[in-house]
RNA sequence: GGCCCCGUAGCUCAGUUGGAUAGAGCACCAGAUUCCUAAUCUGGGGGUCGCAGGUUCGAAUCCUGCCGGGGUCACCA
């Protein structure tokens, strides 16, 4: 139940009445009419700009039109009073009987409260992480991983058909470097002293176990082979092991992809890359040509050469993009084209790419590919995540590119835990930079929003435990309150909580539409705040405490309200991928 | 130089896709616990929304131009 949707219907009906009465013209566009919670509680419970938006096309004065609408709205039984305010706002004060209905609706929907069909089953592919399998995940991957996952949760909760996808590059020259590095570790595992790892290879310790696995499964047989022979074997083995490690790390962060898509599956004779390029070729979107030199400072090694280009400029990109290099090899971008086509062939209508801010330059070309391949039928939506800067007690954590001198995701998880990582990463707009301080995020204070929100949930669970002990409810885990009188929820603080709860659907809807999961995190914080406030009012005014053994009817109603808040907190945290704790000591 | 993102209280950040008197937290000041978890709450001061124009009933939000900060530019992956 979304009361704002409900009152939107009411407002729409009032508009229809005015149309039939001739006050408003036929076919007037109501798209810009907003029915929303007012920022200022003094402006009633629900507010609409309808009169101001419609005044111009109707040739009426906003306030006069508002007056006419108020006459219609005041006839509605859900509305205590509709009044004109300011330049032509209509503020609705809702009948008090609406609030208990909100609580009842939450209890009725339970784990599904807030879930909607707004997405209408539109098929969305969310691609995130997609780190190359040449090493373990590090903090640089973390934000995109969490963001992508929460976005996927959010979209699924909102009625979209979501697939979570990971694209891994197992075809490029970097993977050869990985294999060569692993081969060195393999020789080391067989007892050879390989000395310092040569520059150009990956020196990280994480390849030592890979070498050991190779030694265990191949013995010394690889040493007998030429590089052409062992390279493919070692490459595949190394990629498999790296991907297994990456998946394990992601699992620890509560992230599981549906599809792991291998780049090498795109290549080969008659493969998707060839098909996709032939497709573009057939439509005259590929040509042999030369690119203009880059603007500004000319790179030292720049040379003007003929290559095969995709007409990206026809679709809004700044320059045409190379698909086949002058040496005849495909570019990485060619694989991107084929990969998009794969997604399109799999019937996705929207392809979300979660990328780091350093990939901002890819946005236009990806959108160009989407436009060209799908003919405008599918769209590429790119969400960029800004950099995360690590701190420890206010001091920046230095990370150089030298061996092993970067903080891995594993280390981060082990130190602060998945819930803290996820919530902090999501408690900021994705395109704003984020400072992540190891010490601050694990502090158990109000300053730390993770604990603040989780504590609200735990507090409710604590109330239930106490209520169960007192025999007011049979079981703290299965709070079923079918026969309580929710009209007993009369206190202003209680109503404030209910109003907050009533906004949940609206928040989810807006967050999903904007692809902004952080809105859910901020909402969680606000709801937690409303709960903590009411809790503390019970300290000054004992009659407002959730549990009052002498007033069992009121207690039952308040426990029902707590149960509703708990559902909303749990459902919201579920979207964020954070565990709602039942106890914090 | 071209393109993208950011600029809001002393600090860190929100701002419901254009709404009414711009909001939280931290910090600062003053308070609250014999009582369901004080990991909490209540009150107070604090603003030229980077600057200047434009669009309109109405702009932190949309458009243009500047200023300042970051990212990016390829036959790399």
Burial-class residue A63 by CB neighbours within 10 Å (0-12, 13-18, 19+): middle
- Which residue is nearest nucleotide B58, judged by alpha carbon to C1' distance? A87
Q: Which nucleotide is nearest to A307 (CA to C1')?
A: B75
Tell me, in Å, how far CA of A487 is from C1' of B20?
32
- Which residue is nearest nucleotide B13, judged by alpha carbon to C1' distance? A428
In a domain? residue A304: no
Q: Which nucleotide is nearest to A46 (CA to C1')?
A: B16
In a domain? residue A46: yes
In a domain? residue A139: no
Question: Residue A570 and residue A178: Cα distance in Å, rounded?
Answer: 42
Q: For the sheet containing A286-289, what is the strand order? A: A286-289, A307-310, A321-324
- Note the pLDDT of residue A59: 86
Structure token pair of residue A394: 């206010």
Averaged over successive runs of 10 residues, the pLDDT of chain A (585 residues) comes to: 91 93 89 91 92 90 93 93 93 94 94 94 96 91 96 98 96 92 96 90 92 96 95 95 97 97 94 96 93 69 84 92 93 96 97 94 95 94 92 77 70 92 94 88 78 93 92 80 86 94 95 96 95 92 90 91 96 96 88
Select from A70, A95, A120 the last residue of a domain. A95
Select from A45, A77, A95 the last residue of a domain. A95
Residue showing tokens 């209520």: A467
Show the domain range for A476. Answer: 449-576
In this predicted model, what pLDDT tens digit does every residue of A91-149 receive, in sequence order?
999 999 999 999 999 999 999 999 999 999 999 999 999 999 999 999 889 999 999 99
> A354 - beta bridge partners?
A383
For chain A, what is the mean pLDDT? 92
- Note the pLDDT of residue A391: 86
Residue showing tokens 């067989």: A190
* Helix (DSSP H) and strand (DSSP E) numbers for chain A: 20, 15
Tell me, in Å, how far CA of A488 is from C1' of B34?
29
In a domain? residue A84: yes
User: What is the CA A389 to chain-centroid distance, rounded?
Assistant: 20
- Which residue is nearest nucleotide B70, judged by alpha carbon to C1' distance? A433
Residue A401 is classified by DSSP as: S
- Which residue is nearest nucleotide B72, judged by alpha carbon to C1' distance? A361
In a domain? residue A372: no
Tell me, in Å, how far CA of A536 is from C1' of B29?
22
Report how many domains make up chain A.
Answer: 2
- Note the pLDDT of residue A566: 96
* CATH code of the domain containing A472: 1.10.730.10
In a domain? residue A83: yes
Residue A123 is classified by DSSP as: E
Q: Which nucleotide is nearest to A534 (CA to C1')?
A: B41
pTM: 0.95
From first CA to last CA, the distance across chain A in angstroms is 35
The closest alpha carbon to A430, from A526, A528, A529, A522, belongs to A522
* CATH code of the domain containing A14: 3.30.1360.70
In a domain? residue A499: yes
Residue A87, phi then psi, degrees to nearest 5: -75, -5
- Note the pLDDT of residue A403: 47
- Which residue is nearest nucleotide B34, judged by alpha carbon to C1' distance? A539
Question: Residue A275 and residue A270: Cα distance in Å, rounded?
Answer: 7
- B chain positions with any atom within 7 Å of a protein CB: 1-6, 12-17, 19-21, 23-27, 32-33, 35-42, 56-58, 70-77
| CB atoms inside a 10 Å sphere around CB A75 | 11
- Which residue is nearest nucleotide B14, judged by alpha carbon to C1' distance? A522
- Note the pLDDT of residue A396: 82
Q: Which nucleotide is nearest to A334 (CA to C1')?
A: B75
In a domain? residue A193: no
Tell me, in Å, how far CA of A564 is from C1' of B32?
28
Tell me, in Å, how far CA of A446 is from C1' of B46?
21
Q: Which nucleotide is nearest to A49 (CA to C1')?
A: B19
List of residues 6+ apart from A45 with CB closer than 8 A: A37, A38, A92, A93, A94, A98, A499
The closest alpha carbon to A92, from A48, A34, A39, belongs to A48
Tell me, in Å, how far CA of A318 is from C1' of B2?
9
- Which residue is nearest nucleotide B7, judged by alpha carbon to C1' distance? A432
Q: Which nucleotide is nearest to A463 (CA to C1')?
A: B36
Q: In this structure, are residues A36 and A47 in contact, taking their beta carbons and an 8 Å threshold?
A: yes
- Dihedral (CA of A537, A539, A540, A543) sign: positive
In this predicted model, what pLDDT tens digit does every residue of A374-433 receive, in sequence order?
999 999 999 999 988 888 877 888 765 544 567 899 999 999 999 999 999 999 999 999
Select from A53, A75, A95 the last residue of a domain. A95
Tell me, in Å, how far CA of A39 is from C1' of B54?
28
Burial-class residue A200 by CB neighbours within 10 Å (0-12, 13-18, 19+): exposed
The answer to whether ipTM exceeds 0.90 is: yes
List of residues 6+ apart from A21 with CB closer than 8 A: none
């Amino acid at each position: 139940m979304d009361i704002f949707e409900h009152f939107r219907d009411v407002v729409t009906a009032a508009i229809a009445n005015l149309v039939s009465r001739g006050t408003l013209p036929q076919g007037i566009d109501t798209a810009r009419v907003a029915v929303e919670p007012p920022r200022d509680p003094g402006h009633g419970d629900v507010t609409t700009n309808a009169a101001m938006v419609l005044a111009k096309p109707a040739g009426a004065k906003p306030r006069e039109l508002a007056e006419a609408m108020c006459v219609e709205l005041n006839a509605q039984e859900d509305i205590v009073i509709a009044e004109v305010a300011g330049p032509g706002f209509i503020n609705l004060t809702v009948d008090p009987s609406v609030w208990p209905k909100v609580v009842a609706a939450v209890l009725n929907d339970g784990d599904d409260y807030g879930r909607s069909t707004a997405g209408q089953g539109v098929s969305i592919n969310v691609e995130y992480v997609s780190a190359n399998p040449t090493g373990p995940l590090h903090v640089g991957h973390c934000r995109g991983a969490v963001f992508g996952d929460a976005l996927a949760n959010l979209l699924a909760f909102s009625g979209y058909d979501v697939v979570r996808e990971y694209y891994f590059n197992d075809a490029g020259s970097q993977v050869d470097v990985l294999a060569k590095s692993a081969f060195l570790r393999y020789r080391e595992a067989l007892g050879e002293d390989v000395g310092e790892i040569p520059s150009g290879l990956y020196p990280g310790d994480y390849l030592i176990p890979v070498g050991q696995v190779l030694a265990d499964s191949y013995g010394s047989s690889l040493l007998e082979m030429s590089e052409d022979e062992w390279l493919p074997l070692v490459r595949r083995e190394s990629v498999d092991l790296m991907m297994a490690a990456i998946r394990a790390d992601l699992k620890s962060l509560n992230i599981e992809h549906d599809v792991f898509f291998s780049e090498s599956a795109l290549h080969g004779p008659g493969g998707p890359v060839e098909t996709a390029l032939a497709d573009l070729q057939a439509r005259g979107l590929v040509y042999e040509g030369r690119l203009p030199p880059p603007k500004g400072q000319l790179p030292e090694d720049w040379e003007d050469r003929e290559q095969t280009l995709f007409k990206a400029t026809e679709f809004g990109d700044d320059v045409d993009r190379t698909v086949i290099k002058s040496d005849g090899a495909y570019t990485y971008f060619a694989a991107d084209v084929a990969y998009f086509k794969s997604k399109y062939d799999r019937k996705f209508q929207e392809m979300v790419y979660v990328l780091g801010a350093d990939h901002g330059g890819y946005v236009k070309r990806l959108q160009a590919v989407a436009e060209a391949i799908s003919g405008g039928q599918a769209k590429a939506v790119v969400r960029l995540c800004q950099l995360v800067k690590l701190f420890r007690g206010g001091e920046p954590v230095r990370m150089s590119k030298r061996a092993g001198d970067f903080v891995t995701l594993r280390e981060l998880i082990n130190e602060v835990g998945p819930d803290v990582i996820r919530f902090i990463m999501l408690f900021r707009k994705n395109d704003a930079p984020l400072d992540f301080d190891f010490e601050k995020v694990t502090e158990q204070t109000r300053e730390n929003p993770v604990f603040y929100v989780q504590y609200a949930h735990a507090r409710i669970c604590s109330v239930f435990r106490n209520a169960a002990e007192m025999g007011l409810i049979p079981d703290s885990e299965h709070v079923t309150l079918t026969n309580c009188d929710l009209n007993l929820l009369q206190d202003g603080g209680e109503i404030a909580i209910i109003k907050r709860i009533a906004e949940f659907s609206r928040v989810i809807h807006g967050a999903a539409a904007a692809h902004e999961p952080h809105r859910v995190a901020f909402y969680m914080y606000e709801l937690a705040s409303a709960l903590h406030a009411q809790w503390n009012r019970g300290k000054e005014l004992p009659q407002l405490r959730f549990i009052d053994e002498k007033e069992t009817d009121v207690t039952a109603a308040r426990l029902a309200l707590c149960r509703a808040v708990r559902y909303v907190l749990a459902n919201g945290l579920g979207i964020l991928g954070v565990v709602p704790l039942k106890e914090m000591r």
